[in-house]
């Protein structure tokens, strides 16, 4: 039996990778403009890290983690998300010294044991952003603006930003009680799942998809109606700033995030171009998470965005076409030319050109065809005729014009015509 890749994972092949790199390049550029720096966190962690941060009763922790014992018997887990690791790292490396807002981003694979479908995989890639150390609503708004800016640059057509506020440490317990009281009379009409949620996490009743639950949820008290003055002011300021930046959004009082660490602002950006899994990214404030890992009180705001989903809707510009485009294809004919062309290729590459070539002594026709297929800007023909006359033939593949290059000074002459692209 031939070994195949396992369920829910996939190879990202060279044809597709240009789009990924293009997307990642833009994310890096734009994050840099906002002062975010990359952090690389481990792929696996102590299992307790995720249970404690995401919440013991969340679906991710209860049934979706890849957890295993290593050879010494320690329980390890392949990371199902990135925030927990960033917070652990923040505390472990005492990044709160000296006091400042620490702005980080990461990119990489996450792992969740779920049934695969469109936009959902068992190994999937996320870009995450975390702004740590300020409770200012300006942080919330700025990070969301950064995302909108990124999406605009990536050519996304139809995205919707939804925001909500879940309240803080002080208002949340009171609201929870009010909500439970309001739910209780409806318990017999709510789905089995919501009956459990009523006990464990009543907020989740609000965003249940069951029709009868939706009906009831519509009239339940909402978090935004029960914010304390501080949280209400924070939420209003976030809205004011978003409006000032010209960012469109809607308030969705039924949006409850699936991870327990969120407080105050939460948000999601969805795309109507995606299937059932239409959330491109989601996040919000987590003002108390650092403390649960024995760090100092550190209000934070962050989000994660799904790369597979994002890449499927980006509209790359002309800059994508040059990403992998070779400058020059060396066509070589005959034994003597092989040695000469080898040296010429090495010389041109060391001067910054992207040089492709033939390895198998194919016909001229076939080598020219390859040069065309690979979208090379130029072809350099080296055969016995050229070696004898000391003149190489350089062909512009776009204009279909050719010029002669003196073998004695080929390097400078070619560089003169075929300038390397700025990125190289």
Partner RNA sequence: GUGGGCGUAGCUCAGUUUGGUAGAGCUCUGGAUUGUGGCUCCAGUGGUCGCGGGUUCAAGUCCCGUCGCUCACCCCA
Task: Tell me the sheet residues that pair with 328.
Answer: 355, 378
Q: Select 116 or 317, whichever has its Cβ closest to RNA.
A: 116
Question: Is residue 214 within 8 Å of residue 191, measured between CB atoms?
Answer: no
Min dist. Cβ of residue 79 to RNA (A): 12
Q: Select 67 or 362, whichever has its Cβ closest to RNA.
A: 362
Residue 246 tokens, joined: 């010209």
Min dist. Cβ of residue 73 to RNA (A): 26
Chain contacts with RNA (rule: CB under 7 A): 4, 6-8, 10, 58-60, 64, 81, 112, 114-121, 124, 126, 193, 204, 208-210, 257-259, 268, 275-282, 304-306, 308-309, 333, 362-366, 368-373, 379, 381, 383-386, 393, 395, 397-398, 400, 402
Min dist. Cβ of residue 19 to RNA (A): 16
Min dist. Cβ of residue 317 to RNA (A): 22
* Cα(114)–Cα(124) distance, integer angstroms: 11
* Cα(203)–Cα(37) distance, integer angstroms: 34
Q: Select 16 or 236, whichever has its Cβ closest to RNA.
A: 16
Q: Output the furthest CA–CA distance in the chain (Å, rounded).
A: 96
Min dist. Cβ of residue 99 to RNA (A): 28
Question: Is residue 276 within 8 Å of residue 118, measured between CB atoms?
Answer: yes
- The kind and range of the H/E element at 216 are helix 211-218
Q: Select 201 or 228, whichever has its Cβ closest to RNA.
A: 201
For residues 77, 78, 81 and 86, what is the CA-based torsion angle, rounded to 10 degrees?
A: 80
Q: Select 71 or 115, whichever has its Cβ closest to RNA.
A: 115
Min dist. Cβ of residue 122 to RNA (A): 8
Q: Among residues 375, 370, 393, which one has the least CA distance to residue 327?
A: 375
Backbone angles phi, psi at 207, to 5 degrees: -110, 25
Q: Select 145 or 376, whichever has its Cβ closest to RNA.
A: 376
């Amino acid at each position: 039996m031939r070994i195949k890749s396992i369920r829910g994972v996939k190879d990202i092949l060279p044809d597709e990778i240009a789009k990924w790199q293009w997307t990642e390049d833009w994310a890096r550029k734009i994050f840099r403009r906002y002062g975010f720096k990359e952090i690389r966190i481990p792929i696996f962690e102590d299992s307790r890290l995720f249970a404690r941060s995401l919440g013991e009763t969340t679906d991710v922790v209860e049934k979706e983690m890849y957890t295993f014992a290593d050879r010494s018997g320690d329980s390890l887990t392949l990371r199902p998300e990135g925030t927990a690791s960033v917070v652990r790292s923040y505390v472990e490396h005492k990044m709160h010294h000296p006091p400042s807002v620490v702005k980080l981003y990461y990119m990489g694979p996450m792992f969740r044991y779920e049934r695969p479908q469109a936009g959902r995989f068992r190994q999937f890639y996320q870009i995450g952003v975390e702004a740590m150390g300020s409770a200012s609503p300006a942080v919330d708004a700025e990070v969301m603006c950064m995302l909108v800016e990124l999406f605009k640059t990536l050519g996304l057509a139809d995205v919707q930003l939804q925001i909500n506020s879940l309240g803080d440490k002080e208002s949340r317990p009171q609201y929870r009680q009010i909500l439970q009281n309001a739910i209780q009379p409806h318990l017999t009409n709510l789905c089995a799942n919501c009956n459990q949620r009523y006990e464990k996490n009543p907020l989740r009743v609000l965003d249940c998809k069951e029709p009868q639950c939706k009906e009831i949820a519509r009239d339940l008290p909402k978090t935004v109606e029960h914010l304390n003055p501080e949280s209400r002011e924070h939420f209003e300021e976030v809205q004011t700033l978003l409006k000032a930046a010209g960012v469109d959004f809607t308030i969705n009082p039924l949006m409850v995030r699936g991870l327990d660490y969120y407080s105050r602002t939460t948000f999601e950006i969805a795309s109507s171009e995606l299937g059932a899994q239409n959330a491109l990214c989601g996040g919000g404030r987590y003002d108390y998470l650092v403390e649960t890992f024995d760090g100092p009180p550190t209000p934070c705001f962050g989000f994660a965005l799904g790369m597979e989903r994002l890449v499927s809707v980006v509209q790359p510009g002309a800059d994508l076409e040059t990403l992998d485009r070779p400058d020059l294809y060396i066509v070589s004919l005959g034994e003597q030319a092989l040695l000469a062309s080898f040296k010429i290729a090495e010389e041109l590459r060391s001067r910054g050109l992207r040089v492709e070539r033939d390895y198998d002594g194919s016909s001229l026709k076939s080598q020219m065809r390859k040069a065309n297929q690979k979208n090379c800007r130029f072809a350099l023909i080296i055969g016995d005729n050229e070696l004898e006359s000391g003149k190489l033939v350089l062909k512009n593949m776009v204009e279909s014009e050719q010029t002669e290059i003196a073998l004695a000074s080929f390097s400078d002459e070619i560089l003169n015509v075929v300038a390397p692209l700025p990125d190289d």
